[in-house]
Amino acid sequence: MKHKKSNRLALVVAAFVACVLALGVTFAQADVNSELGGTNDLLVKVSVNEQDADVEKASTQVEVYRIATGSKNASYDAYDYSFDVTAFKDLGKGYDPTTMTNESWQHMAEAAKKIVKDKAINPDATAAIGEKISGLSDGIYLVTAADGASEQYTYTFAPALVAVPGKVGEDGGAVYNTSGGRWTNTDPAVSVPLVLKWSRTPRYGSLRIDKTVNDFDGEAATFVYHIVDEQTGGTVYENYAAVQYTADGVQSTTVNHIPAGLKLKVTEEYTGAHYRLVGDGDQTATIVADDVVNVAFVNEPDGTGTSGHGIENHFVFDEKQGDWQLDARVIDASENVTNS
C-alpha cells in the first residue's frame, strides 16, 4: 500500500494509528532517515492491576502467526503490508487501513484465529506470557493465548493483531502519536509491547459433610450445619446443610457450586434431639476447583432417647439470576433423606 502526499490523508492515517493501537496493532510512523533493519522482538503481557493480580497466576502459552509481510516505505514514514502469506490471503481482500476500526480489527483477528484452527497451522513462534519472542520478520502477526486457570478463575484471552516493528516511548510503552517515540528495531532494539485483553469465569468446587454416630441406637436424627467463609473483608459465602442419619456407618451430604479458594468454617449447630457432639464442633476446609473436600463430625447418644426434627435452611444457586436463593424446609425423624 502506498501513501499519497496528502495532509488530509496523513491526518486520517494518524487517527487510524491511534485507533488500532488500542487493539495492540502497531502501525507506527518514523523518520524517513531512521536507521532501521535491526531485530524485531515482541513482548506479550496481560493487563493487570491490584484487584486483578490473580490473572498472573494463570500461566499460559502464547502462539504467534505471521499473517502479512511488511516492508519499509521508501518515501514516507510508514511500513507497507501485504497479505501474501498463503493461508491468510483472503484476509487482505478489501484491506484498507484508513477505514479499519477497532471492531473490524478484532473481527480480522477472530477470522485469522479460525483459519489457524481449521487448517491446523503451526505457529511461527511460541512463548509464555511475559517471555520475549525474538527474531520476527517485519509483518502483521496474529497472537493467541490458550485458556489458563488460577485456583479461583478460568481465564480466556482474546486474539490480537500486532505489527512489527513498532514505535515506543522512553518508558517502553507503545506510542499513540506518530510524531513521537522511536522505532523498536533501531539500535538499541527494544521489544514491541502487546497487552492481551482477557475475561474470566469463577471456578467452583464442592464440600462434603461426613457424619458418624457411635453406638447408633437406630433412632434417625437430623444434624444441621452452618457453612460460612472466613475471608477478610466481610462474608462472601454463607449456607446451611443437613445430614439425615438413618443407619450405621458414615452418611454424608454434599454442597455444590461453592467458589473455589474460599476457606470455610463448618459448624454443627443442631446435633439431633438425643445425640451429643464428640470432639470439636467447628471444622475448616478450603474449596478446591473441580474437586470435593470433606469435613467429618462424630456424635453419640446422650442417653435421653428424645426424638425430634431439624430445619434445613438450604441456599440454591440460581443460574438465571446469578445469586443464591433460600430454600428452607423442615426435616423430621421419619423422613428418608438420600445423602449424596
Residue 317 maps to which CATH number? 2.60.40.10
Query: How many residues belong to the chain?
Result: 340
Query: From the CB of residue 94, how many other CB atoms can be counted at a distance below 10 Å?
Result: 6
Amino acid at 84: D
Residues 144 and 12 in one domain: yes
Residue for grid cell 517471555? 131
Q: Which residues span the domain enclosing 283?
A: 203-332
- CA torsion, points 34, 38, 39, 43, in degrees to nearest 10? -20
Residue of 65, 17, 47 whose CA lies nearest to 167: 17
Find how far residue 316's CA is from the centre of its chain.
25
Tens digit of pLDDT at every position of the chain (340 positions): 433 333 332 323 333 333 333 333 444 333 333 445 567 999 999 877 766 788 888 888 999 999 999 988 788 767 888 999 999 999 988 778 788 888 999 999 999 999 999 999 999 999 998 899 999 999 999 999 999 999 999 999 999 999 898 888 877 777 755 566 787 888 788 889 899 999 999 999 999 999 999 999 888 889 999 999 976 566 689 999 999 999 999 999 999 999 999 999 999 998 877 889 998 889 999 999 999 999 999 999 887 755 544 444 455 556 555 554 555 444 443 333 333 3
Residues 101 and 246 in one domain: no
Find how far residue 16's CA is from the centre of its chain.
30
Residue 249 and residue 212 in contact, taking contact as beta carbons nearer than 8 Å: yes
Residues 179 and 246 in one domain: no
Domain final position from 201, 232, 261: 201
Predicted model pTM: 0.70
Q: How many domains does the chain have?
A: 2
